[in-house]
Amino acid sequence: MKKYIVRWSVFLFLLLIGLVVLLQLVRLDVLHQWFPVTSPQVEKASTMTASESVEGGTRMTVYLHENDSELSKGSIGNMEQALDYAKVPHERIDRDGITTLEPSPYSVLVLAGEHSEQWPKEAITSFVEGGGRLMIAGRFVDESWDDLLGIKENKGFKDGVTGITFEQELFPGYVDLDASSSLLTHSIADVELEEDVEVPLRVEEEPLMWINEVGEGKIMFFNSTVVTDKSVRGLLIHSMSLLPPSFVSAQASIKVMHLDDFPAPIPYSTTEAIDEEYGLSIKDFYTDIWWEDMKELKDDYDFTYTGYLIGTYRDDTEVIGEDLKKTIRYPMLYFGRSLLNGGGEIGLHGYNHQSLVTEEEPIDPELGYRPWENQGTMEEAVVEAKELFHYYFPEETLNSYVPPSNVLNRTGISALHETLPELRTISSLYIRGDEGSFEQEFEMDERFDGLYHFPRMTSGYVDDPAAQFLMTDAIAHTGVFAHFIHPDDVLDPYRAKGRTWEDMYKDLQGIGEHVVTHYPYLESMTQSNATEKMIQYQESDISVSYEEDSILITGDTILSPSHLFIRVEQGKSIEEGSHSFGTVELYSEGLYKITMQQPRADIPLKGGGE
């Protein structure tokens, strides 16, 4: 009996000592350093290269002619960027070059602007009649061109026309926008067309895009000024795809989801809406409701989260060191570790939520932000944020950065480069927002080698036709879904737009459903891996040779696997299913998705010619 009591006494003593030691370790805040969590390894994208390049056959070339006007420059520049992303061969051509252009169904001449009198109409007519393809990427009015364009009556211009109606599906996921939508506002040519003209797109019952067959060739007229907008780049690519007998375009196939301001300090109080609906503090709401729902969303729709850290919401830099660490301890240890454990990663949003711009650099005054004194003060704050991050995640690096309110300028970029040499990605906006917003293309920084710009295409808890259109158009020409949200949107009545969290979550589910239904081939990734994949995609080369009864595609360091789309003219088809090079899937009428698992694809075409 005495031995039993002694043993239990020793056990209880040791247990007590263990609990005291554990308590001290918790108080010393070192457990997270002893048991760190890590994000997925950043890896180079897998590639493949064909042993032989394409020989013979016909190559496609899009010839872009720019005049000295805003409409022409905007439209041609927009088209050029879209063709780059879709890996469709193109080159600039001047007026003299147009006069010597040889007709071919795989030669597409693109004109834009209100300079029709400067275009060599006789040479263009001969080019089209001989089998060439012409795309007018922007409305103009010139009655001398009416017969060639299939116009029966020309009534001048018509402004303020809104929306879009698809008479033909150009790419899965596009939706009609009615006249109440402000996303697309057109100035069009008010015309009546000949009866045999094909009209795939309309706006308010007016012809928005039509195709007129002339001789052996075809002419497409895109009847709008919206051709200068980034939001229609995919529409322009897939409209063009209707002109040649076959048309091959490529995609990067990337899916990223950003959580801005996550992890970030949590208010101690609650809001009236959260209190009424859940009876919880904001901390408990984020913990028990919001984050649990977001984890479920990730699993249901194959999202990989990249969160962006904010250290403090103060507009000064007074909170530093231990005080800063205490401010964000719970968000970092609970949400941050959970995010990493779920396969995500954490990037930097900022020491605080003040955009890295000086007083001399533009920013929307409505934001109420304090400008930074100079680059040096920016660098001090970034270093503080970096030390905060490494305190909680000692084995992680800050590979990506999102500017607060998407506002950034060259001073801030220089400060980031100096203090975060490991920084690989800056992610802001693909389509410009408010004053000072940092608009991006997918490209390397103009000054700092190795720093890549990866814009986000869409944002928010909104699943309406305009949002679906923007998502679809981005994917249609890049193969990239890049979306961001803020956890605190639900706390702000203006950003929540009167919706409850349940309503907002349903909209997020709608976004996930739209993407996973139409684009299941997109690869869900952290931002770091998405950057590496996009860079490799842009550096790769795809060669396409067109024959009457086949298409040959070869690649040089192309992604493995690679995803491409092929549109074929009416009367032709491609056999679906497995092939020696990969798989073929009918995506919509005349449009096939090709998954290349080998760097060379010989694709037979079934059916007759033109």
Check whether 610 has a pLDDT greater than 50.
Answer: no
Residue type, 194: E
Residue 39 within any structural domain of the chain: no
Domain boundary among 200, 218, 244: 244
Identify whether the C-beta of residue 145 lies closer than 8 Å to the C-beta of residue 116: yes
Provide the pLDDT confidence category of residue 25 given band limits of 50, 70 and 90. very low
Evaluate whether residue 256 is within a structural domain.
Answer: no
The CA distances from residue 439 to 357, 360, 374, 430, 453, in Å, are 15, 18, 22, 6, 10
Which two three-digit tokens encode residue 191?
Answer: 């015309």
CATH code for position 142: 3.40.50.880
Q: Is 180 contained in some domain?
A: yes
359 phi/psi in degrees, rounded to 5: -65, -25
Determine the Cα–Cα distance for residues 54 and 544; give it in Å rounded to an integer.
Answer: 7
Rounded-to-integer distance, Cα 458 and Cα 62, Å: 29
Helix, strand or coil for residue 563?
Answer: strand
Report the relative pairing of strands 305-310 and 254-260 from DSSP bridges: parallel
**Residues with Cβ < 8 Å from 30, sequence gap 6 or more?**
none
Flag whether 500 is in a domain. no
Beta-strand runs (E) in 373-519:
400-401, 425-426, 443-444, 452-453, 458-459, 480-485
Residue 80 pLDDT > 70, yes or no? Answer: yes
pLDDT tens-place string over residues 311-349: 999 999 999 999 999 999 999 999 999 999 999 999 999
For 97-108, give the DSSP string.
HHHTPPP-TTEE
**In this structure, what are the phi and psi dihedrals at residue 319, rounded to the nearest 5 degrees?**
-90, 115
Residue 564: band (very low, low, confident or very high) from pLDDT cuts 50, 70, 90: very high
What is the pTM for the complete model shown? 0.94
The Cα–Cα gap between 33 and 11 comes to: 29
Angle of CA points 12, 14, 19, to nearest 5°: 90
> How many domains in the chain?
2
In degrees rounded to 5, what are phi and psi of residue 211? -125, 130
Q: How many CA atoms lie within 13 A of 320 on its CB side?
A: 8
Cβ atoms of 471 and 514 closer than 8 Å: yes
The pLDDT of residue 41 is 81
DSSP reduced 3-state for 451 = coil
Mean pLDDT of 280-296: 97
Q: Give the 3-state secondary structure of residue 459.
A: strand
Establish if 197 belongs to a structural domain: yes
Asked whether residue 186 is domain-assigned, the answer is yes
Domain that holds residue 569: 540-607
Structure tokens, 260: 């801005």
Question: Cα separation of 22 and 130, whole Å?
Answer: 84
**Is 54 within a domain?**
no
Model confidence at 28, pLDDT cuts 50, 70, 90, reads low
Calculate the CA 235 to chain-centre distance: 15
Render the burial of 370-392: b for 16+ CB within 10 Å, e for the rest: eebeebeebbebbebbbebbebb
Closest Cα partner for 347 from 251, 452, 477?
A: 452
Measured CA angle at 43 (ends 41, 44), to 5 deg: 175
For residue 495, what pLDDT is reported?
87
Q: Side chain identity at 18, as an amino acid letter?
A: G
Q: Write the DSSP symbol of residue 271.
A: -
Is residue 91 scored above 80 in pLDDT?
yes
User: Looking at 186, 216, 244, which one is the last position of a domain?
Assistant: 244
d(CA 428, CA 225): 26
Q: pLDDT tier at 21 (50, 70, 90 boundaries)?
A: low
Residue 32 has pLDDT above 70, yes or no: no
**Residue 153 and residue 156: Cα distance in Å, rounded?**
9
How much is the average pLDDT of 485-494?
Answer: 92
Radius of gyration of the chain (CA): 28
Quote the CA–CA distance of 193 and 206 in Å, as a whole number: 10
Per the prediction, the chain carries an average pLDDT of 94
Strands (E), 359-446: 400-401, 425-426, 443-444
DSSP string across 188-230: EEEEEE-TT-EEEEEETTEEEEEEEEETTEEEEEE--SGGGSG
* pLDDT, tens digit, 9 for 90 and up, residues 209-250: 999 999 999 999 999 999 999 999 999 999 999 999 999 999
Q: Say whether 161 sits in a helix, a strand or coil.
A: strand
Domain for residue 429, yes or no?
no
Among 184, 214, 244, give the residue marking a domain's end: 244
